[in-house]
Structure 1
Amino acid sequence: MTTTRWLRRPQPRPAAAVRLFCLPHAGGSAGLYRSWAPLLPADVELLTVRLPGREDRLDEPLPADLPTLVAGLAAAVGPLLDRPWAVFGHSMGAAVGHELVLHLLRQGHRPPVHLFASAREAPQFHRVGTVHLQDDDALCAELARLGGTDAELLAIPEVRALVLPAVRGDYRLIETYPARPEGLLPCSVTALVGTEDEELTVEEAEGWKPWTAAGFDLLGFPGGHFYLSEGPAAVVAAVVERLRN
């Protein structure tokens, strides 16, 4: 396993035809994509993004805002764009991934072959929020409602102390994000949704279409906001199919 401060490469594949950068949800970690590496074919190399404030970056402060986060991540990703690349972002990670692609394009890097926006409304439907201002109990209730974190774990004080600072910080980043990206993407975009996700409407997911000058499609999978954890094989297969088209 190869690691850097920002990126983890679970199964290095130096001969891979394309690199796939995967970004987690608010409060999430690289573990969201733990099952993906063995499911991906040999010609796709997985790189998972590790954000400050969690895992072995626990003592690092979160950036002041989302553009600052993107700038730091772009510095780590830039040297790895010597071959075709794509981005998959889940929930908050989709917004970060979108801004990351635009940032790298402004720097003159080669465009990605695909952007996958998972469980995230398009920028024009972005909603500001106040979850990051609520107390710990309310924050835990929100995490349990979305289904991404075991409610029993959140009842353990030691777990709360480790998890909640990053969760609160990420919610602050996304809830204060101005969502005014500029420019059309030169790559295809796929929006992915859980068919039982109450956080996202079909209209909000289809709203990604006008953000690309290339192709667009919308995919639905059984499950809620964290549908990709319930059926990773089907999601990975759909991603690979689009990377090869």
Structure 2
Amino acid sequence: MGTYAAELATEPAPAGGPGPGVADAPPHRHGGDAAGAAGRPWIVGRVGGPEDRLRLLCLPQAGGSTGSFAPWRLAMGLPGFELATVELPGRGVGSGETMPDTLEELADAVIDGVRDELDMPYALFGHSFGALLGHRIAVRVAERGLRPPSALVVSASRAPHAPVRKRVSHLDDAGLLAWLEGFGGFPPELSRYPAYLTYALRTVRRDLALVEEYRPAAAVPVGCPLHVFGGAEDPLVSGEQLELWRECAAGGFTSRLLPGGHDYLFTGAAAMTAALAATLL
């Protein structure tokens, strides 16, 4: 969900292809991307400085990678933030790993991978698929007695306890591609590379299957402020659906729509990062 596969960093595209991957990033505070429990970097493309007060752990849309946040890296430069994008299994430096079978298992894997990142105040940000994953991480961090996030920020997603309006992970490649193209979620130029297209769609499908099966019986509140963002013209998630996240808020709650569709946070990166700064700092 979101600009799926537009920024996939799973494996190189065919020779002469678009080569989507992790964008180059400015130097960051640690001098190297952090390796987690799996022995590989879980934070790739960190952007920040020594004066940052808040680490923003970012989780991408289905099929996405740390490369999805390349527009944010270009738009950053906001004092106080460290941008720390999480590389999930099955893409980028984690391409040799198998995606866990459930969102609950994936959340625990991410926590194990980024545990050393919880050494300073941090917020969780998740877009679409990443929003549901971020909520589950916030819940599990508390259950495991680890440092809780200062805030959970979710974007363009149904609330965890809300019903899935349309299941698409069962579609064949043609059907899934048509669904993605219906809201601009797939770059048409990738269709010129059939082998890569098949791989990209498999990654998207696998991620979507996890969130389609994830639905707690009731709203599970998080023990930190909850902030919800969405695109005002998003054809997949309406403002009314976003409001259901309020039931997951035990503390402060805000909701805001920004101009754009399902990928509003990337097409309007400067506006989104400014809104985050105003909300979190």
Question: By the TM > 0.5 criterion, same fold?
Answer: yes
Q: Indicate whether 1:10 and 2:41 are aligned.
A: no
Change (3 A) 1:130 1:203: closer
Match of 1:203 in 2: 240
Measure how far apart 1:106 and its partner are: 0.8
- What letter is aligned with 1:28? G
Measure how far apart 1:10 and its partner are: 2.4
Structure 2 CA distance for aligned equivalents of residues 16 and 185 of structure 1: 25
Measure how far apart 1:57 and its partner are: 2.3
Measure how far apart 1:146 and its partner are: 2.8
Structure 2 CA distance for aligned equivalents of residues 8 and 162 of structure 1: 21
Give the structure with the higher percent helix: 1
1:1-245 aligned within 5 A: 2-3=32-33, 4=35, 5-38=41-74, 39-127=76-164, 129-180=166-217, 183-244=220-281
Structure 1 CA distance for aligned equivalents of residues 44 and 57 of structure 2: 10
- What letter is aligned with 1:119? A
Structure 2 CA distance for aligned equivalents of residues 9 and 155 of structure 1: 28
- What letter is aligned with 1:10? R
CA contact (8 A) 1:131 1:139 kept: yes
Deviations 1:209-229 (A, max 9, x none): 121121111111111111111
Which blocks of at least 5 consecutive residues in structure 1 are unaligned?
none
CA contact (8 A) 2:229 2:255 kept: yes
Deviations 1:119-154 (A, max 9, x none): 012123230754221111111112212323212313
Structure 1 CA distance for aligned equivalents of residues 237 and 167 of structure 2: 18
Change (3 A) 1:183 1:125: closer
CA contact (8 A) 2:231 2:258 kept: yes
Alignment partner of 1:41: what SS? coil
CA contact (8 A) 2:162 2:215 kept: no
CA contact (8 A) 1:54 1:163 kept: no
Match of 2:23 in 1: none
Structure 1 CA distance for aligned equivalents of residues 217 and 43 of structure 2: 26
Structure 2 CA distance for aligned equivalents of residues 218 and 174 of structure 1: 22
CA contact (8 A) 1:116 1:189 kept: yes
Measure how far apart 1:180 and its partner are: 4.1
Moved more, 114-123 or 141-150: 141-150
Structure 2 CA distance for aligned equivalents of residues 66 and 181 of structure 1: 16
CA contact (8 A) 2:239 2:257 kept: no
CA contact (8 A) 1:40 1:236 kept: no
Alignment partner of 1:8: what SS? coil
Moved more, 79-88 or 149-158: 149-158
Give identity over the alignment, percent.
Answer: 36
Change (3 A) 1:165 1:71: same
Task: Tell me the matched-pair count.
Answer: 244
Structure 1 CA distance for aligned equivalents of residues 278 and 77 of structure 2: 11
Structure 2 CA distance for aligned equivalents of residues 95 and 158 of structure 1: 30
Alignment partner of 2:215: what SS? coil
Measure how far apart 1:9 and its partner are: 4.1
TM-score normalized by the length of structure 1 = 0.92
Change (3 A) 1:69 1:185: same
Alignment partner of 1:34: what SS? helix
Deviations 1:63-107 (A, max 9, x none): 111111111001122221121110110001000000001111111
Which blocks of at least 5 consecutive residues in structure 2 are unaligned?
1-26, 36-40
